[in-house]
Structure 1
Amino acid sequence: MEHLLGLLRIHVHRGVNLAVRDLKSSDPYVIVRFGKQKLKTRVIKRNLNPEWNEDLTLSVSDPNTPIKLMVYDKDTFTPDDKMGDAEFDIKPFVEAVKMHLQDLPNETIITKIKPSRENCLAEESCIIWTNGKVVQNLVLKLRNVERGEVELQLQWIDIPGSRGLSM
């Protein structure tokens, strides 16, 4: 088993213009998968622009593994409907954390990631130094669906006694 590097807190902020899967709306929730870990947000009833504002925390031992995100519509009597998926790479974020930056001016941009065919970014994503922490805001365009985006924020949590990111 690989050694734990630290924890990744994913703040699932909101969904934007999600697909309709019920009569005129949907009851969306998000599942985040990372390796064998699987976390889920709560269901927001009848809303195509849900605000989850939930923190999901994953243990990170291999930063080369992409994080997969799936959005579903909660149904009562039938299987939940898929409302799109996305995946994103945490390597650039982990590299920024490894720099062990200190005392930068608040809101300093460490690096920028442009949308490409290899990622699900809807717009440029900045990894920034804010309030003494490395943070990345992402707007992910959902795939395999007619429309929809999910907004996230990543934040690193060091674990005392872990191998950490001092590689």
Structure 2
Amino acid sequence: MHSSTMVTMFGIAAVVAAIGVLFLSGPNESEEPKTPADFGRRLFRVQGCSSCHAIGGGISRGPDLAAVIPRLRARLADSEYRKHLSILKKSREDIYALFTTEYDNVLKAQGDARIRVWFAQHLNNPRFDHYLGQMPSFAHLTPQQVGYLTAFIFTLQ
């Protein structure tokens, strides 16, 4: 195959991919985001979160994020989370020792603030509370971007 043919094929593939993104992104994705949740929705797509996480069905490598906030409320409830950390401390002292500060920060927060703190820690280093998980770190995100993603996640009640 000639190099010009290869370049043409790659060009066509890029155009087809761009058209696919436009169709898959929906009608409102071309609009400028207006709210923190809108910015978060866009970040969710741009950062590749949607390549692993479905929202309300479909196949995904990571957990489906539909109704994730009620699940996190239950998981991070004071007694449940302290029980989880107690088990972790006994079974994996090495992991617990690595993230003691992060666990303390989560425990200091109450209510939905605890979810926000946990989510920020989780984006920075998902291993802090899922040491066998496969999610990559998003430590490159700014605090503002983490806030936007958090606002979006809170729409998934």
Measured against the shorter chain, the TM-score band is under 0.3
Greater strand percent: which structure? Answer: 1
Greater C-alpha radius of gyration:
2
TM-score under structure 1 length normalisation: 0.25
Greater helix percent: which structure? Answer: 2
TM-score under structure 2 length normalisation: 0.26
